[in-house]
Amino acid sequence: MPRLFTGLELPDNLSDELALLRGGLPGAKWIEPEDYHLTLRFIGDIGDAMANEVYDALSSIRRSAFTVTLEGLMTFGSDKPRAIVARARPTQELTELQQDHERAMRRLGLPAETRKFVPHVTIARLRNGSAVLAADWLGSRALLPKTFTVTNFVLFSSRASTGGGPYVSEASFQLERSAFGGRFAAAGESPVNRSR
């Protein structure tokens, strides 16, 4: 079984907008727009039997649809930046969904996630990243706050690669109707349109 993780897909129009930021930074490996996502919980390499248990555990999560806002650009790693990301606002709804995933994986006996949850979408991974060059790049680009509605979360798989991707959606789990997405949830549709 490939490496697994859970996350949120981005709408195509937002992925297209983030893709316009690509370029102009030496040593950057740019993520393909169809691979943009917001990771909720890294699971890792597991066998088929455990993968089935993961699927069942995720199927039992009940949350309402909500919105996510990408509110700006930043780097991960201060002295030696290792990634350029679009940071997401850590709202209660987003944090609680991530905590649901963490609890579900812990109940299955998987190791605890030791890193603090910092919601983000990775745009580029940096090799031998220069803090000065990254700061210059960030200073010359802007991302105005962008909000999208989340009506589902996804179990992704990935193949070993340098820089991340390609990612495959193995299963999608619908969130419940809410004021944000009731029409979409009821119709089995989603404003997160992945037509690629």
Contacts 24+ apart (CB under 8 A), 32-35: 32/165, 32/166, 33/196, 34/166, 34/194, 34/196, 35/164, 35/165, 35/166, 35/167
Instruction: Tell me how far apart the alpha carbons of residues 121 and 29 are, in angstroms, rounded to a whole number.
Output: 14
Q: Which of 35, 37, 41, 100 is catalytic?
A: 37
What pLDDT score was predicted for residue 188?
37
Q: Which segments of the chain have a pLDDT < 50? A: 180-196
Which residue range forms the structural domain that includes residue 48? 3-187
pLDDT (0 to 100) of residue 69: 99
Does residue 36 lie within any of the structural domains? yes
CA 145, CA 59: separation in Å to the nearest integer? 31
- Number of domains comprising the chain: 1
The pairing of beta strand 83-88 with beta strand 28-30: unpaired
Q: What is the pTM of this model?
A: 0.87
Instruction: Report which DSSP code applies to 109.
Output: T
> Residue 160's pLDDT is what?
67
**pLDDT confidence of residue 96:** 98
Residue 120 annotated to the active site = yes
Give the pLDDT of residue 21.
Answer: 96
What integer pLDDT is reported at residue 191 of this predicted model?
45
Does residue 101 have an active-site annotation? no
CATH number, domain with residue 143: 3.90.1140.10
The pLDDT assigned to 161 comes to: 60
